[in-house]
Amino acid sequence: MNNAPQPGHTDPAIIRNFCIIAHIDHGKSTLADRMLQLTGVVGEREAKAQYLDRMDIERERGITIKSQAVRMPWTVTEGNEAGAEPGTYVLNMIDTPGHVDFTYEVSRSLQACEAAILLVDAAQGIEAQTLANLYLALGQDLHIIPVLNKIDLPSANIEKYALELANLVGCEPEDVLLTSAKTGLGVERLLDEIVKQIPAPVGVADAPARALIFDSVYDTYRGVVTYVRVVDGELSHRDKIKMMSTGALHEMLEVGVISPEPMKAGKIGVGETGYLITGVKDVRQSRVGDTVTVSSRPATESLGGYQHPNPMVYAGLYPIDGDDYPVLRDALEKLQLNDAALTFEPETSGALGFGFRCGFLGLLHMEISRERLEREFNLDLISTAPNVVYEVVMEDGTQHTVTNPSEYPEGKIHEVREPVVNATILAPSDYIGTIMELCQNKRGNLLGMDYLSEDRVEMRYTLPMGEIAFDFFDQLKSKTKGYASLNYERSGDQAADLVKVDILLQGEPVDAFSAIVHREAAYGYGVAMASKLKDLIPRQQFEVPIQAAIGARVIARENIRAIRKDVLAKCYGGDISRKRKLLEKQKEGKKRMKMVGRVEVPQEAFVAALSTGGGGTEKATAKK
C-alpha cells in the first residue's frame, strides 16, 4: 500500500513539506484524515475521525493542541487537472492547532515547511485566527495555497468567501481551491496542486549534517523522542550526534519517519522530517529550536532557532498533597519538553504550601496544561486565580516586577504599569455597538475599523491583558451569539490605576485570595470574594470576620457566626445568676480562643474560591 521512496534515499526534488493552518473548527484535522486515506497510509480498518489528534483531551474537546507530522506517498497520474508532473512524490504534512493560545506551536511547524495550506470555512469566511496564522506564514516567506473547505454545506457562500480569500492572499478567485474534507470532494485535486505549486526543499546533501528540532515528546519507555527537519547532510542510525546549543553528545539508537505511526529507517536526508531516539532521559538535553549535527563532522553554524514566547498569564499550581511536590516538578519538566511555551519557577504560599508559579500563553493553555498534568501524571492540583505581570515603580524610583499579588510592594507607589495587547475582533457588522460597549467596559481603546465585506467588520482595539485574562472571551461570544472571533498579541504596557485587594480572615491576610485589580473593580471583587468565603468556610468555635481591604482601608466585610454550644442544657429552673455566670464563662473562653485560635480553611474552600472566572473560559471555542 505504502509505495513511497524509502527515507534517506529520497531525492529532495520529489519531497513536498507543507502544513495546514486555519481558524478553529474550519476542518484542518478532517482534511488531514482525507489525505491519510487517499494516500493509503491509513487503511479503512484503522481510519477514525481526527486520526492525528492523539491525546484523549484533544479528542474530548475536539481541538488540536499538538502539531503532528506525517509522511505520505502520492502518485500523480498523467493528465491531472493541476498539470503537475506525473510520478510518485513524498508529502510531509504537519497538522497544526487553530487556537490563539497555541500560536507558538504553529510558528514552530511553519519553520519545518516550504508552504502552508490556508483553509477557510465556506460558511463562515475569514476569522481572526485565519489572519494571524497567515501573517505568521508570510513572515516565514512560505508559499500559500488558499483553500475553501466545507463547500457541501447548505449555508456555504462560495463566491463571496472565495473573493474575500483571493483579496487576502493576492490571487484570482478562480485560483482558490474548493474542497469538502468531509466527503473528500476536491482533495485529490488539492494533493496534485501541492505537488505542482510547492517548491522542493533546498539543502546540500554532502555538507555537514544540520537538522532543526521542531518538537519533542517524552516517552516513559524510550526517553526523549525528538522530531527534526533535516536541512543539510543526513542523520544515520548509530551516528554520534551533537546538540549545538548545549554541546551534549548522544548516540542515535533509532531514527525514522512518522507515516503516521513511527517507522524505523537507516537514515534521513535533506528535506525530510523524522524522529530521533537517543535514550536520553533528561528532558533538558533536547531543546526545541536547537540544531542537531553529527559529532564526527560537525556543522559550524547553527540554524535559526525560535523566538521564545513571553508568557501572557501567570497562575500558581500547588499539589493538594504536599508530598507530591517533587512529582509535580518532574511532571512540569516533562510537559515543558512537549510544550516549550510553558514556563515555571518554585514559589511558596502561607496558605497552600510549596508549589510553582507557571506562565502560560492564555487561559485555554493554562486549563489544558493543568488538565494534562492531572491526567498524564496522576496529580491533584489547586491553581490560583490567573493574573498578569505588573511593573510597580515606587516614589523613591525603585522598580518591582510583580507576577503574584503576594509580591506587591508596601509603601508609597508612584506608578503601576500593566501589559496591554492589540486585539483584532472579526464579527458581523450588526454587533458593532455590542462589541464597542464590551471593550469600553474592559478599558479598551479603539484603534480602527475596516469592513471586509458589506456585512463583516474587523475591529482593532488595545486592551489591558488583565481584563482579557478572566471572562472577556466568554462575554464576547455570548454577546455576539458565537459569531465574533478574537486574536491578540502583546504590544507593550501602560500606566493604570491598579490596587491590591487583600482578603483577611480574623485580621490575617490570606495570600492565596489576594488580587491586583483596577480601583473601580476593587469593591466588586472584595464583596464577591467575602460572600463566597462566608458560604465556603465552616463555622468555627468563635466568630470570624472576613474582610476585603486595600492597604489599611476595609472595603467589604462578612461575618461567620460562631457555633454556640448550649452550656445551659444542665440548668433547669433555679437561679438566673447561675445561667449568667455560665454564659459569661463561655464568652471569656471564646475571647481567649479568638486570640490564640487559627481559622481552619478547608482545601475545598480554596479550590472553589480560586475557580473564579478562570475555569472554562474559552471552552466555547474549543471545538474543531
Do residues 477 and 507 both lie within one domain?
A: no
Helix, strand, or coil here: 606? helix
Bond into 86 cis (ω within 30): no
- Answer with the residue of higher pLDDT: 301 or 189: 189
Does 66 appear as a known binding residue?
Answer: no
Do residues 380 and 396 both lie within one domain?
A: no
Percent of the chain with pLDDT over 90: 1
Asked if residue 503 is part of any domain, the answer here is yes
Give the pLDDT confidence of 308-356 residue by residue, as tens digits. Answer: 666 777 888 888 877 888 889 888 887 876 676 788 888 887 667 788 8
| pLDDT, average across residues 384-398 | 83
Do residues 117 and 253 both lie within one domain?
A: no
Q: Looking at residue 597, what is its pLDDT?
A: 44
Asked if residue 134 is part of any domain, the answer here is yes
Burial of 387-417, coded b for 16+ CB within 10 Å and e otherwise, reads bbbbebbeeeeeeeebbbbbbbeeeebeebb
CB-CB contact of 353 with 322 (8 Å): yes
Does 92 appear as a known binding residue?
Answer: no
Does 240 appear as a known binding residue?
Answer: no
**What angle, 0 to 180 degrees and rounded to 10, lies between the N-to-C axes of helices 187-197 and 28-38?**
90
Cα(590)–Cα(317) distance, integer angstroms: 36
Asked if residue 591 is part of any domain, the answer here is yes
Do residues 191 and 44 both lie within one domain?
A: yes
In sequence order, the β-bridge partners of residue 228 are: 213, 274
Look at strands 143-149 and 177-178 and give their pairing: parallel
Cα(442)–Cα(464) distance, integer angstroms: 8
Do residues 565 and 576 both lie within one domain?
A: yes
Q: Is the pLDDT of residue 393 over 60?
A: yes
C-alpha triplet 386, 392, 394: angle, nearest 5°: 155
- Which of 42-51, 332-341, 441-450 holds the top average pLDDT? 441-450
| pLDDT, average across residues 272-294 | 75
Q: Looking at residue 614, what is its pLDDT?
A: 36
Determine the number of helices (DSSP H) and then strands (DSSP E) in the chain: 14, 31
Asked if residue 616 is part of any domain, the answer here is no
CB-CB contact of 224 with 283 (8 Å): yes
**What angle, 0 to 180 degrees and rounded to 10, lies between the N-to-C axes of helices 603-610 and 519-536?**
150
pLDDT band at 617 (very low <50, low <70, confident <90, very high): very low
Does 597 appear as a known binding residue?
Answer: no
Does 121 appear as a known binding residue?
Answer: no
Asked if residue 483 is part of any domain, the answer here is yes
Asked if residue 204 is part of any domain, the answer here is no
CB atoms within 10 A of CB 358: 27
Domain at 368, CATH number: 3.30.70.870
Domain at 603, CATH number: 3.30.70.2570
Domain that holds residue 245: 210-294
Give the pLDDT confidence of 216-238 residue by residue, as tens digits. Answer: 777 777 777 888 888 888 888 78
Do residues 170 and 138 both lie within one domain?
A: yes
Q: Is the pLDDT of residue 494 over 80?
A: yes
Do residues 218 and 255 both lie within one domain?
A: yes
CB atoms within 10 A of CB 160: 16
Q: Is the pLDDT of residue 548 over 70?
A: yes
Q: Looking at residue 7, what is its pLDDT?
A: 63
CB-CB contact of 314 with 344 (8 Å): no
Mean predicted lDDT score pLDDT of the chain: 77
Q: Which of 197, 221, 243 is the last residue of a domain?
A: 197
Q: Which of 454, 471, 496 is the last residue of a domain?
A: 496
Do residues 479 and 353 both lie within one domain?
A: no
| pLDDT, average across residues 241-256 | 80
Helix, strand, or coil here: 575? coil
Greatest distance between any 2 Cα atoms in the chain: 112
Give the pLDDT confidence of 518-539 residue by residue, as tens digits. Answer: 888 888 888 888 888 888 777 7
Percent of the chain with pLDDT over 70: 79
Asked if residue 299 is part of any domain, the answer here is no
Among the residue ranges 73-77, 103-107, 569-573, the one predicted with the least confidence is 103-107
End-to-end CA distance of the chain: 30
Report the number of distinct structural domains present in the chain: 5
pLDDT band at 618 (very low <50, low <70, confident <90, very high): very low
Does 247 appear as a known binding residue?
Answer: no
Q: Which of 166, 197, 228 is the last residue of a domain?
A: 197
- Cβ burial, residue 168 (10 Å; 0-12/13-18/19+): middle
State the alpha helices, DSSP H only, in 381-507. 432-441, 465-467, 473-479
Does 25 appear as a known binding residue?
Answer: yes
Alpha-carbon separation of residue 445 from 450, 461, 468, 487 (angstroms): 15, 5, 14, 16
Do residues 178 and 133 both lie within one domain?
A: yes
Q: Is the pLDDT of residue 469 over 50?
A: yes
**DSSP states along 74-102:** EEEPTT-TT-PPPEEEEEEEEE---SGGG
| pLDDT, average across residues 501-528 | 82
| pLDDT, average across residues 17-31 | 79
Helix, strand, or coil here: 465? helix
Amino acid residing at 6: Q
Q: Looking at residue 622, what is its pLDDT?
A: 31
Q: Looking at residue 411, what is its pLDDT?
A: 79
Domain at 464, CATH number: 3.30.70.240
Q: Looking at residue 612, what is its pLDDT?
A: 46
**What residue has cell string 551533537?**
242
Do residues 358 and 455 both lie within one domain?
A: no
pLDDT band at 613 (very low <50, low <70, confident <90, very high): very low
Does 27 appear as a known binding residue?
Answer: yes
Do residues 490 and 509 both lie within one domain?
A: no
**What angle, 0 to 180 degrees and rounded to 10, lies between the N-to-C axes of helices 325-338 and 363-376?**
120
Q: Looking at residue 43, what is its pLDDT?
A: 60
Asked if residue 302 is part of any domain, the answer here is no
Domain at 249, CATH number: 2.40.30.10
Q: Looking at residue 3, what is its pLDDT?
A: 57
Grid cell in block for residue 38: 487517499
Do residues 51 and 152 both lie within one domain?
A: yes
Q: Which residues contact 572 (CB under 8 A, 6 or more apart)?
A: none
